[in-house]
Structure 1
Amino acid sequence: RMAVPGGAVLDTAAVTQVGVRADHTRRGLLSALMRAQLDDLAPRGEVLAALHASEARIYGRFGYGVATRAREVRVRRSGRGFRPTAPAEGTVRLLTPDEIRSVPAALHDRIALQRPGMITRGETWFRPPADWAKRDDRSVLVAVHTGSEGEDGFVVATAARGHAARPLSVEDMHADSPRAAAALWRFLLDVDLIAEVTAWGRPLDEPLDLLLADPRGLTVTAVEDELWLRLVDVPAALAARSFGDVDPVLLGVHDPLLEGNAGVYRIADGTAERVEPLGGPVAPQIECDVAALAMAYLGDRRPAELAATGWWTVHDPAALERADAAFATPVVPWCGTMF
């Protein structure tokens, strides 16, 4: 299940392991597979579908668009550490092997839906960390932060075994608040025999540089697409999402694969509903296909950005300004879960 702007949680198909055998490529099998899946999802009540793409050029033709982005970071471990006024609350403890699976699983699904794009996992997702703890080639630490109201964050990190200074790699980290996240980062940077801490798939708005005494110790090594989203049921998806309180915007949506999604949608007063079929007497002020709509749906991209780069078509410039206000979200969307 996935959180969307406004706090609603929607049933979502987590699409993974898509592939065609090497001796059967270029025969249209992938297209047939993806289309059959889309036809199967709507009757099951899955309003959205999401995936992580191995190649960026594959999934747009099936209506998927980049809905969240994430960054990779590297933080040098130095004696300067955190700023003196940076939050320093609560305690961090390492979990025992028996806790590695159950404690993060329960904690994640309690705090998972606090920002758009985040999804629930369940305990079975945490099998890999439990298995990592048994490996001989890497040291694994799984830690939990406890604040004034109980456990509110966890981190999974690994490092190559050995005595020389080496990088500590953050594999998974979630926290219920910026203060809990700060405590987990402080803990990681205090681990001995570590040269630096690296992390991938982190949210774009994580204020790590504001915590460090030396902000130049943080290097953003990449910003990449994270979650690709497909609106399987556009009327239901738009009805579930909250919008800014604006004067009406008439948005035309095209969907060649699921034609029932096509139409003119009226966005106004915080809600959206379909009011006309495409080609009817009510003309849209803005138009896009379903993949371009996915790019704005969680709040990652502004309609004005998408219009300026050719993803959205604008017939009424004043409506574009209202669309920006309607789709704006107070927090950057992020998934934070690989599947």
Structure 2
Amino acid sequence: MSTELKVLRRADWDTWYAGLMRAFGGVAESEQERALWNDLTEFERSIGAWDGDLCVGTAGAFSFRMSVPGGAFVPVAGVTMVSVAATHRRRGVLTSMMRRQLDDVRALGEPLAALTASEPAIYGRFGYGIASRQLSAEIDTSRVTLSVPAGTDAVRLRYAPVQEVAEQCEALYVRSIGSRPGMPARTPGWERLPLLDPPEERDGASPMQCVVAERDGGIVGYARFHTKPEWDTSGPKGSVVLRHIDALDPAASAALWRFLFGIDLTSALHVRNRPIDDPWQYLVSDIRRCLVRVRDVLHVRLVDIGAALGARAYRTPVDVVFGVEDAFCPWNSGRWRLTGDTGGASCVRTDEAPDLELSVRELGAAYLGGTPLTALAGAGLVRELRPGALASASLAFGSEHAPWLPHGF
């Protein structure tokens, strides 16, 4: 049997999406979520692998701009909805889709591709490196307390209908994205994603609630969450499930976290997908009882090394020649000289001897400043050829704040 790659037609979306859902376990999504993904699908950037009338593979991309160190926003292909039917594994279907997709990304002039991986072992062979991580926590709020900064008591909190304050909350998100690498600038329609709240996915919890933090009559923060009641013979032991939290300053942030810790009839706070340097960790009385975990999130692939490295800024002056290996996108292979500082950078081809040797995967991992080149060298993945080049480049690639992807795509 042979397969043929085709650009997705609107008339084929139901068949294409059904194949994707089957590959991810076959459990139907809510109509609310399904309708959103249908609206957001960029059909011209979506492909299907067809075996006759059967759709046996899917892949798509969203057109984003993503924040990078220095505060710039760089065009990125948000790779998404990748699947291969179990009946057609190990036949080159995924490789053919990745090949087609990266060629298309290059033709569009996007220097980066990025994805979240259902299985992180899959995408390294296509040049993707783990560039950001997320924090989760299970906090015992019956035993953990918070020490809050000055000004916290001056922040006013109030419940607000989720939809009523959605526009103001989205404005806070827009203000925050330039300060932390890895955050996508949401295009129209994407503001609906964090508001999804299908009843069948609450697992016994309440509808999504929202509390806003106010100062001088304006909203300076918000938290969206669910409460899940539970009782035993000793009394209430409910939990709070945090969906989103954002604030403009430490006092507003602390006021919201203190509120979440203190909701009546609850003794646990479930935190999902927060930055690994989230400040609340430094306010708690006992971090061990917060059961903090870290996992990979955003995998980044440099499609055009020169454009990608030249699009971000660097914490310290850098002048380094990389010897890069890129078997899947051979146009990237060779030597590249990167020069730059906090004001910007340039990355061009060169015949000079390399200072560091690595693969494009390691450049992707280091790109957002969350994975030190020194750590990759310690794993044997970066080779230093000029003494001092590794430490200098690793410091320059760092970011003031840990990169973070606030939602999937």
Same fold, TM-score > 0.5, yes or no: yes
* 1:108 maps to 2:182: no
Give the corresponding residue for 1:45: 109
Deviates more, 1:186-195 or 1:29-38: 186-195
- Per-residue CA deviation, residues 20-46 of structure 1 (Å, 9 max, x unaligned), is 112111111011111111111122232
SS at match of 2:272: strand
Counterpart contact for 1:303–1:324, Cα < 8 Å: yes
- Per-residue CA deviation, residues 97-141 of structure 1 (Å, 9 max, x unaligned), is 432644433332232222111112246334455442766842121
Higher relative contact order (CA 8 A, sep 6+): 1
- Per-residue CA deviation, residues 38-85 of structure 1 (Å, 9 max, x unaligned), is 111122232221111111110111111000111111222237732264
Counterpart contact for 1:209–1:218, Cα < 8 Å: no
* 1:167 maps to 2:231: no
Runs of 4 or more off by more than 6 Å in structure 1?
A: none
- Check 1:175–1:291 CA distance in 2 against 1; reply closer, same or farther (3 A cut): farther
Give the corresponding residue for 1:14: 78
State how 1:112-131 maps to structure 2 within 5 Å.
112-122=177-187, 124-127=189-192, 130-131=195-196
How far, CA to CA, are the matches of 1:247 and 1:8 in structure 2? 18
State how 1:102-251 maps to structure 2 within 5 Å.
102-122=167-187, 124-127=189-192, 130-132=195-197, 137-139=204-206, 140-147=208-215, 150-161=218-229, 164-212=236-284, 214-216=285-287, 218-246=289-317, 248-251=319-322
- Per-residue CA deviation, residues 277-302 of structure 1 (Å, 9 max, x unaligned), is xxx4x220101111110111111121
Amino-acid identity (%): 36
**Which of these residues, 86, 90, 95, is aligned with residue 155 of structure 2?**
90
- Check 1:93–1:125 CA distance in 2 against 1; reply closer, same or farther (3 A cut): farther
Counterpart contact for 1:66–1:225, Cα < 8 Å: yes
CA drift at 1:244: 3.7
Q: Unaligned stretches of 5+ in structure 1?
A: none
Deviates more, 1:109-118 or 1:147-156: 147-156
CA drift at 1:156: 2.0
How far, CA to CA, are the matches of 2:220 and 2:309 in structure 1? 31
- Check 1:203–1:317 CA distance in 2 against 1; reply closer, same or farther (3 A cut): same
How far, CA to CA, are the matches of 1:172 and 1:84 in structure 2? 20
Between the two proteins, the alignment pairs up a number of residues equal to 334
Give the corresponding residue for 1:286: 356
* 1:253 maps to 2:324: yes
Deviates more, 1:22-31 or 1:129-138: 129-138
Counterpart contact for 2:148–2:283, Cα < 8 Å: no
Name the larger-Rg structure: 2
CA drift at 1:209: 3.4
How far, CA to CA, are the matches of 1:288 and 1:125 in structure 2? 36
- Check 1:241–1:186 CA distance in 2 against 1; reply closer, same or farther (3 A cut): same
- Check 1:231–1:174 CA distance in 2 against 1; reply closer, same or farther (3 A cut): farther
Counterpart contact for 2:377–2:383, Cα < 8 Å: yes
How far, CA to CA, are the matches of 2:66 and 2:316 in structure 1? 23
What is the RMSD computed on CA atoms of the aligned residues?
A: 2.4
Q: Unaligned stretches of 5+ in structure 2?
A: 1-64
- Check 1:291–1:177 CA distance in 2 against 1; reply closer, same or farther (3 A cut): farther
- Check 1:229–1:216 CA distance in 2 against 1; reply closer, same or farther (3 A cut): closer
Normalising by structure 1, we get a TM-score of 0.89
SS at match of 1:159: strand
How far, CA to CA, are the matches of 2:381 and 2:156 in structure 1? 47
Counterpart contact for 1:314–1:320, Cα < 8 Å: yes
CA drift at 1:204: 1.2
Deviates more, 1:149-158 or 1:108-117: 149-158
**Which of these residues, 279, 291, 295, is aligned with residue 365 of structure 2?**
295
Q: Give the counterpart letter for 2:296 in structure 1.
A: D
How far, CA to CA, are the matches of 1:133 and 1:147 in structure 2? 32
Deviates more, 1:56-65 or 1:97-106: 97-106
Q: Give the counterpart letter for 1:138 in structure 2.
A: A
Normalising by structure 2, we get a TM-score of 0.75
Q: Give the counterpart letter for 1:238 in structure 2.
A: L
CA drift at 1:9: 0.4
- Check 1:123–1:218 CA distance in 2 against 1; reply closer, same or farther (3 A cut): farther
How far, CA to CA, are the matches of 1:23 and 1:6 in structure 2? 46
How far, CA to CA, are the matches of 2:376 and 2:397 in structure 1? 12
How far, CA to CA, are the matches of 2:220 and 2:407 in structure 1? 17
Give the corresponding residue for 1:326: 396
Deviates more, 1:24-33 or 1:218-227: 218-227
Give the corresponding residue for 2:339: 268
How far, CA to CA, are the matches of 1:22 and 1:310 in structure 2? 35
Counterpart contact for 2:116–2:299, Cα < 8 Å: yes
